[in-house]
Amino acid sequence: MGRNQIYEPKVARVSGQFAVRGMNYCVNEWGDANLPLLVYLHGWADTGSTFQFVVDALGGDWHVVAPDWRGFGRSSCECTSYWFPDYVADLHALLELFSPDEPVRLVGHSMGANVASLYAGTMPERVRAFVNVEGFGLKDSDPDEAPGRYRSWIERSLEAPTFSEYANLDVLAQRIQKRYPAMGGGAAAFVAREWASEGADGTVRLRADRRHKLPNPVLYRRAEAEACCRAITADTLLVVGSESTFAEDIGSSVERMFPGASHASIDGAGHMLHFEAPRALAGVIEDFLQPSL
């Protein structure tokens, strides 16, 4: 796969570093700051910059802001572990920078949508509208798992596992396209260059802190997450891919978690809708957000 095949963005992106809670946060931006604000929150091991495909497909004019979460992409974090509440606090600090006086439109994917859900229920006055793309929590945990989980975290924290390495960027791009066949080769090459960097020896490593791979010692408590989500007051849209089993695997409590939410399904797409069906996702997002303008 040659470099001349890399996807060419239609809308220019500017990426900058911002001081957020003692860290350097990379924030990706598209569009003029005077345009309506849309904040996008990426999923685990992704980056904000790969929202490029959806940005290019948006029909209207937007100021899109998409941070790289702490320890992913080009955002730093001197963390020994990653705690989910920190993402929620990071989001609040970022919104205080980009929209201190007005509620925002949030679009979140997977982990990013889970962060946004907790935030929108905890700080409902700060969210105008919310598009949740495949981020409906996790299965509930059995408290009896706690001793084993703590043990696993303690033992593995002595030497955190690593992310995979690749011989070069083209190998990574081929791996991405194989996993998401609906993507073109150029789009996969673009994602590879956003996800990873080349070392001095030519080896490609993901821009992700390996400590993200440590098990969370604190079990997921679904009842708490559901309580936060039920406190959301913003108009909410739940988006799924027709080929994804993500929501199905969690179970029927999604309806209980987001009472009154609207629903949309995108045909032919799996969990990574912004890769597999960016035009369709852009259309669904804009149709839903139009009344908030």
Please report where in the chains the tokens 């706690």 appear, as a residue.
146
Rounded distance between C-alpha atoms, residue 94 and residue 115, angstroms: 13
| 47-67 pLDDT, tens digit each | 999 999 999 999 999 999 999
Strand duo 104-109 + 23-30: pairing = unpaired
In tens digits, what is the pLDDT along the chain, a chain of 293 residues? Answer: 344 489 999 999 999 999 999 999 999 999 999 999 999 999 999 999 999 999 999 999 999 999 999 999 999 887 888 999 999 999 999 999 999 999 999 999 999 999 999 999 999 999 999 999 999 998 889 999 999 999 999 998 888 788 989 999 999 999 999 999 999 999 999 999 999 998 888 889 999 999 898 999 999 999 999 999 999 999 999 999 999 987 777 766 788 899 999 999 999 999 999 999 999 999 999 999 998 88
| Contact in structure between 281 and 266 (CB atoms under 8 Å) | yes
- For the full predicted model, state whether its pTM sits above 0.75: yes
Cβ-based neighbour number of residue 19 at 10 Å: 10
Residue 34 amino acid letter: N
φ/ψ of 72, rounded to 5, equals -125, 155
Instruction: Identify whether the C-beta of residue 198 lies closer than 8 Å to the C-beta of residue 170.
Output: no
Q: How far apart are the first and last CA of the chain?
A: 42
Alpha carbon 24 to its chain's center: 18
With H, G, I as helix, E, B as strand and everything else as coil, classify residue 77.
Answer: coil
185 vs 189: CA distance, rounded Å: 6
Q: How far apart are CA 241 and CA 250, in angstroms?
A: 15
Annotated domain spans of the chain: 3-140+220-292
d(CA 188, CA 174): 7
Give ∠ CA 87-114-49 in degrees, rounded to 5.
70
**In terms of Cα–Cα distance, which of 34, 31, 54, 38 is closest to 190?**
54
- Sorted by sequence, the CB contacts under 8 Å of residue 231 that are 6+ apart come out as 121, 122, 124
| Architecture, CATH, for domain 3-140+220-292 | 3-Layer(aba) Sandwich (3.40)
Residue 190: CB atoms within 10 A of its CB come to 23
Cα 263 from Cα 236, distance rounded (Å): 9
Interatomic CA distance for residues 136 and 251, integer angstroms: 10
